Amino acid sequence: MGAVLFVDWLTDGFTRYAEPLSLELRKQGYDGQFIGVYMERDGKSRPSKFDSLIFAGKYSWDARRILDEIKPEMVVVFAHRFFDYMFTLEAHKREILVVNFQHGLYMDKSTISAFNARMAVQLMKRKKEQVRLYSKCIYVMNQNNILNTISTFIDLARGVTIYSYIIKRFGYDSNADISFIFGKYWKDYYENQYNETKTKYYIIGYPELEGNSRDTDGLFCEKIPVVCYLAQTSVEDGVIDKSVLLAFLKILENSLGKFNLILKLHPRSDRDMYKDIIRNEKHVFVWNFPEFPICDCYIGHESTVVARALYITNKVLVYRLHKERISPFEQYSDFACTNSGQFQGTLEEMLSVTKNSNVSPEFEKYMYKNPNGAIKQAAMIIMDFLVKK
């Protein structure tokens, strides 16, 4: 019996796309096992439909040992982190098919595309466990050769474009065979940013655009506009400093009363950062329903969930948290805001608009809405590849 091996940072990650994909594959006749390998620790949620979950730490985070024991016929990764590259390289040595499933939004000026010693120090301060894990992955990628590993660290500290460097040092076997992407824009982006010129791309669309929605009527006593804040995990992922987000949340908190706030947290959100806002029970409701909230307006940053809001209304305030991370959502929002000084004026302008308008059709190049279902199409493509093996 074969197996599909899903690889992610935390167990939470599997519930987003991996578990729905496994269920769809089962519907389409796949009779193998579904196994998840997670890197750090149990998250706040775990997939209930997998055959097994494995903590990579039990194997010293060594992809070789895991692949040799499980012997999967396919490996599915969800990003371009060092452990994704480690599993991809080792899978290809064993002639195992590798699929990359786009899981988030990437920025053209993303700070992760270039690296230097200063950034390494900042990352170590915020995410020590992530640095330790990546160090182990780089060691395995260099086949436990300490001199080559040290050489890699020196090159990274000198300042390199990470993805070009990985291709140069480890070759194109570090790229996935298949990549499922949200829209046609991402094909060029992946080829340019990640040097993925040997990968076969499939535009499946953005799965979250297909989810159910839920009205927010009756949640508040005061009849003022209802605004939804779409939280993301830039702090939790070590991308920005905590103080940056807290400063924005303070601005948001001071604006309460002009509107009621639906706080839609990410499954991995650090709720402690939002405690001051949550205390305002009169004007704040923490959203805990699986459906997407239907509100008068939305506020977000660069999370992919902002796309769902843009498909509902033009009244989406896109606030830039990080000066180097410029979201493509900004150009499709009528209310883009690049600094705190603009926020109040932009917010008041958005709240005063009474008529909705649709997002530009060009937005589909970023986030395509698949009428047949993104997960279903991905499963059909995977089944086709597995049958041909």
Q: Write down the pLDDT at residue 389.
A: 65
Owner of token pair 């270039």: 114
Q: Write down the pLDDT at residue 133.
A: 87
Q: Residue 152 is encoded by which pair of tokens?
A: 């890699």
Owner of token pair 């371009």: 80
Q: Write down the pLDDT at residue 248.
A: 95
Q: Write down the pLDDT at residue 125.
A: 54
d(CA 262, CA 363): 25
What is the pLDDT tens value at each position of the chain, 389 positions in all? 699 999 999 898 899 999 999 999 999 999 999 999 999 877 678 899 999 999 999 999 999 999 999 999 999 999 998 999 999 999 999 999 999 999 876 655 444 455 555 555 555 555 677 788 889 999 999 999 999 999 988 888 777 778 888 888 999 999 999 999 999 999 998 898 888 888 999 999 999 999 899 999 999 999 999 999 999 988 887 778 899 999 999 999 999 999 999 999 998 899 999 999 999 999 999 999 999 999 999 999 988 899 999 999 989 999 998 776 678 888 888 899 988 999 999 999 999 988 777 778 888 999 999 999 999 999 999 999 988 76
Confirm if 285 and 261 have CB atoms less than 8 A apart: yes
Q: Write down the pLDDT at residue 111.
A: 40
The length of the chain in residues reads 389
**CATH value of 3-205+370-388 in 3.40.50.2000, 3.40.640.10, 3.90.1150.10, 3.40.50.300:** 3.40.50.2000
Task: Give the domain ranges of the chain.
Answer: 3-205+370-388, 210-365
- Considering the domain 210-365, what is its CATH architecture? 3-Layer(aba) Sandwich (3.40)
Decide: residue 188, CB within 10 A, 0-12 exposed, 13-18 middle, 19+ buried: exposed
Decide: residue 387, CB within 10 A, 0-12 exposed, 13-18 middle, 19+ buried: exposed
Amino acid at position 282, single letter:
K
Q: Write down the pLDDT at residue 239.
A: 77
Q: Write down the pLDDT at residue 387.
A: 81
Alpha carbon distances (Å) from 223 to 216, 256, 348: 12, 13, 17
d(CA 191, CA 172): 12
Amino acid at position 234, single letter:
S
